[in-house]
Amino acid sequence: MPKGETKPNIVSLLPAELEAELAALGEVKFRAAQIFQWLSRGVRDFGQMSNLPKALREKLDGRFSIHEPKVLSKQVSALDGTIKYLWELADGNAVETVVMRYKHGNTVCVSSQVGCRQGCAFCASTIGGLVRDLDAGEILDEVLFSQLDSGLSISNIVLMGIGEPLDNFDNVMRFLRLVNHPDGLNIGMRHISLSTCGLIERFPELAAQELQLTLSVSLHAPDDETRSKLMPANRGRGVDALIKACRDYYEQTGRRISFEYAMIDGVNDSPAQARLLAGHARAVAAHVNLIPLNHVEERPFRPSTPEHMKEFIRILEQQGVNITVRRRLGGDVDASCGQLRRKMQTKGGDKA
Ligand code: SAH
């Protein structure tokens, strides 16, 4: 729940929970389906739920909060049509959502927290630390309102925006159930990816949910020395423990993991690191996603040169690793992690 807000966000409730709430209010069950339908269409005003009796609308207003996120900024890439939204939340905080247009469907990249406490050295999202978790309804609204505003139907979701999804575990699990609900947006788990910096103590719990989603692990370095420098989350956990946790996750779920690997000039792009990475990928049958680093103004790192990338890819392929090199989308609209919110913050616009 956002700070200062005393009423729960009604958008975070699943239909069965709405039913229980209505029973507690002395109302009939079928109202829950009506309310869920309004919410799933993006109605964010009890007054507009015209098939509900006025007395019920007033009761709901007393019991729950409801809010429509406001577009603070919307940038459309002239290069590839990528849309980047900056949304204002009920308490004045802001998060980013990116809509990417791929041949296989439109994909939305959602934030799971306002800011981030993981401290990755190359990432813009973490610069101001963590402000707060998003609630499930706020994450859902990123998908829903991106779809409503853009007029594009969304078929895929990646939890790769601002924040660490496994650091906001319960709300993220609830979001997944909401967005997957047949009476809601009904987006299949196989069309959803969750990306983590490697909070391995949460992997067994995630596996136990038996979701069919894809787990992406932000590896970014195959050795402890480099990874601990780039990603504080590696300290005290370590690459070996991460690889073991990935292996266990794969065995428990049967779902292949993918490794995210942002190529950083002179830091993680040596041939020796390519060979180490290949070993890890083979050990867990992981798919490797190579991403040229996006340069962030406040950060010292640069993307790898095309020559180094080529050699790195050659080694991985030679070792039989399944790789893709991610195309950069939205390069002209700051469409990577936290850059837009960061710009607004430096202009003094954030309430954080
Ligand atoms: N906290 C989660 C998800 C958010 S970041 C995680 O760590 O996976 C989504 C992805 O973008 C991660 O792989 C992250 O490491 C990567 N990323 C962050 N900053 C980047 C940059 N400047 N260039 C390329 N990738 C970056």
Pocket test for ligand 1, best of 195, 226, 227, 297 (most atoms within 8 A of CB): 195
Q: How far is the CA of 43 from the centre of ligand 1 (A)?
A: 32
Instruction: Please state the domain extents for the chain.
Output: 10-63, 70-346
The rounded distance, in Å, linking the Cα atoms of 320 and 154 is: 33
Question: Over the stretch 164-214, which tens digit does the pLDDT of each residue have?
Answer: 999 999 999 999 999 999 999 999 999 999 999 999 999 999 999 999 999
Q: How far is the CA of 162 from the centre of ligand 1 (A)?
A: 8
* Contact between 54 and 303 (Cβ < 8 Å): no
User: In this structure, which residue's CA is closest to atom 19 in ligand 1?
Assistant: 123
Q: How far is the CA of 42 from the centre of ligand 1 (A)?
A: 29
User: In this structure, which residue's CA is closest to atom 12 in ligand 1?
Assistant: 218
User: In this structure, which residue's CA is closest to atom 24 in ligand 1?
Assistant: 293
Active site (annotated) includes residue 96: yes
CATH entry 3.30.70.260 includes domain 70-346: no
Question: Over the stretch 157-171, which tens digit does the pLDDT of each residue have?
Answer: 999 999 999 999 999
Question: Over the stretch 77-125, which tens digit does the pLDDT of each residue have?
Answer: 998 899 999 999 999 999 999 999 988 899 999 999 999 999 999 999 9
Give residue ranges with CB within 6 A of ligand 1: 118, 120, 122-123, 160, 164, 195-197, 218, 220, 260, 262, 291, 293-294, 296, 336-337
User: In this structure, which residue's CA is closest to atom 9 in ligand 1?
Assistant: 160
Q: How far is the CA of 198 from the centre of ligand 1 (A)?
A: 12
Pocket test for ligand 1, best of 112, 122, 159 (most atoms within 8 A of CB): 122
pLDDT at 44 over 60: yes
What's the mean pLDDT in 298-326? 95
Q: How far is the CA of 140 from the centre of ligand 1 (A)?
A: 21
Question: Over the stretch 246-275, which tens digit does the pLDDT of each residue have?
Answer: 999 999 999 999 999 999 999 999 999 999
Question: Over the stretch 15-34, which tens digit does the pLDDT of each residue have?
Answer: 999 999 999 999 999 999 99
CATH number of the structural domain 10-63? 1.10.150.530
Q: What percent of the chain has pLDDT over 70?
A: 92
